[in-house]
Amino acid sequence: MTPITVQELSSRIPHLYVSGDQTREVTGICIDHRIIQPGDAFVAFIGQRVDGNAFVDEAFERGASVAIVSRDVKTTRGPLIRVEDPLRSIQLLAIAERQAFAGPVVGITGSNGKTTTKQMVAAVLAKSGDCLYTEGNRNTELGLPLTILQRLPQHRSIVLEMGMRGFGQIQALCEIATPTIGVITNIGQSHIELLGSQAGIAQAKGELLESLPSDGHAILNGDDPWLRRIASKSAAPITWYGLGEGSDVRATDVEWTSQGMTFVVHAEGEAAAAFIPTFGTHNVVNALAAIAVGIRAGLQLAQSVEALRELTATAGRLNIIENGSIRIIDDCYNASPASTKASLDVLAHLASSNRIAILGDMFELGSESEAGHREVGAFVAKLGIEGLIAVGEMSQWIADAARSAGMSAVRHIATVEAAIDEAANLVPVGATVLVKASRGMQLERIVERLRQIH
């Protein structure tokens, strides 16, 4: 963050009192006393199991400039700022930091693909200077402001992933981030149990459009009919991207190679050959979103295409692991019916035989849970995948639908632990195996076991 004094920091947040040396310089914000860097302000949260206020002295020992505490704490090691709400304090500090930044701020949301799109957008914008972007899953009311507070003077752009689990949450994140460019990847079924319907999901995601200034830019997936329906929510001009002819940034001649995807991108009257070192038509669409952002941020098409060629794989997201006797497609970070079908399509393209799908439960589908799982099972059979292992309670529906569609090599295993125990018998030598489920299933444990035994 921009260096400020303890006194300046305290003036930006509601507080009950400030004690100690207020001239100390603060250069960052940290909520974990174990990873404090010299100059950080330590923000003490009271959690279910740990009270951060108990670690103030340790934070000072590691170099903290000040501690923002939520109860009265006695210490002689450094200044204290006593607040009622540590989370709101962090958000207000992030708002101040954001207001001091003049570069493009990109907010990205969507039911599927937002993390991959975020990585692609950050890679593209890095062509014009250092880009600060959301790391991991820090896309919440705490993670997003903490990301903004990592800003350094050399950053020229900020890319923020925005998670959503209910109405008003995207709006709240936008009040902190005030994005100048908004990207919505799609409107799917994730979180339907909380929002009731795809229309509800579209309404919640549309809060990003409503937050954009008239001189900003909305970047929307033109192949998604729900986004076409809610586009009028945006006061900002819209750039459509996708595979359809009605998109402003479009891909043609999409081809699979052994190393990734090639395609021709058309934008602003130009055409350029492009390559991404990952697989799936859905990732071509994600790349188009990044190219569209680059164009609206003032980059040349050639710069965006060059940036996308240099992408690196992320663990748990279509990461191809060549592990001696088998090939693992590690895509177990999260799942929905749409994203699982996209990953199954990758499996079908990467190998012509001896293909196995290990699929786990997909959460947050509400009343659509059975239908969503059965949709995936039928798709496995349709693709001609040679083997299916369904893991988890709800995945019984995947197995049932695959069998009903004529697939014979189908197994259901009730728990991840049982699947780990049987891993040696699940995947034969020479197989290509996809591992995918919702994050809560923790199927990376199966990936790790497969790496150990092959």
Does residue 387 register a pLDDT over 90?
A: yes
pLDDT at residue 315, as a whole number: 62
Q: Concatenate the DSSP letters of all residues of 106-148 into one string.
A: EEEE-SSSHHHHHHHHHHHHGGGSEEEE--TT--STTHHHHHH
Closest CA to 194 of 227, 163, 233: 163
What is the per-residue pLDDT across 319-340, written as a single tens digit (0 to 9) for each? 999 988 999 999 998 999 999 9
Q: Is 330 helix (H, G, I), strand (E, B) or coil?
A: strand
Distance separating alpha carbons of residues 322 and 259, to the nearest angstrom? 13
Share the mean pLDDT of the chain.
Answer: 95
Q: What is the DSSP secondary-structure string of 236-259?
A: S-EEEEESSTT-SEEEEEEEE-SS
Grade residue 316 by pLDDT with cuts at 50, 70 and 90.
low
Secondary structure (3-state) at 50: coil
Can you tell me the mean pLDDT for 200-218?
96
pLDDT (mean) for 131-154:
96
The fold of 319-453 is Protein-Tyrosine Phosphatase; Chain A (3.90.190)
Could you tell me the sign of the dihedral formed by the alpha carbons of 410, 345, 111, 329, in that order?
A: positive
Q: What is the mean pLDDT of residues 15-29?
A: 97
Average pLDDT over residues 256-275: 96
**Domain 4-84 identical in fold to domain 319-453:** no
Encoded tokens for 378: 């039928």
Look up the pTM and report it: 0.92
User: ∠ CA 36-313-98 to the nearest 5 degrees?
Assistant: 45
Instruction: Please state which architecture CATH assigns to domain 4-84.
Output: 3-Layer(aba) Sandwich (3.40)
In angstroms, the Cα distances linking 244 to 11, 104, 252, 294 are 51, 28, 9, 20
Q: Is the pLDDT of residue 7 over 70?
A: yes
Residue 312 has what pLDDT? 83
Which residues neighbour 241 within 8 Å (Cβ) at sequence distance 6 or greater?
219, 220, 221, 222, 247, 248, 249, 250, 285, 288, 289, 291, 292
Q: Are strands 66-69 and 40-43 parallel, antiparallel or unpaired?
A: parallel
Here the tokens at position 157 are 């752009």
pLDDT for 422-453, tens place per residue? 988 999 999 999 999 999 999 999 999 999 98
- Judge whether residue 72 has pLDDT over 80: yes
Q: Which CATH number fits the domain 101-309, given the four candidates 3.90.480.20, 1.10.10.10, 1.10.150.130, 3.40.1190.10? A: 3.40.1190.10
Q: What are the sequence ranges of the domains in the chain? A: 4-84, 101-309, 319-453
pLDDT tens sequence across 223-265: 999 999 999 999 999 999 999 999 999 999 999 999 999 999 9
Residue 130 phi, psi dihedral angles, 5° rounding: -55, 135
pLDDT at 95 over 90: yes
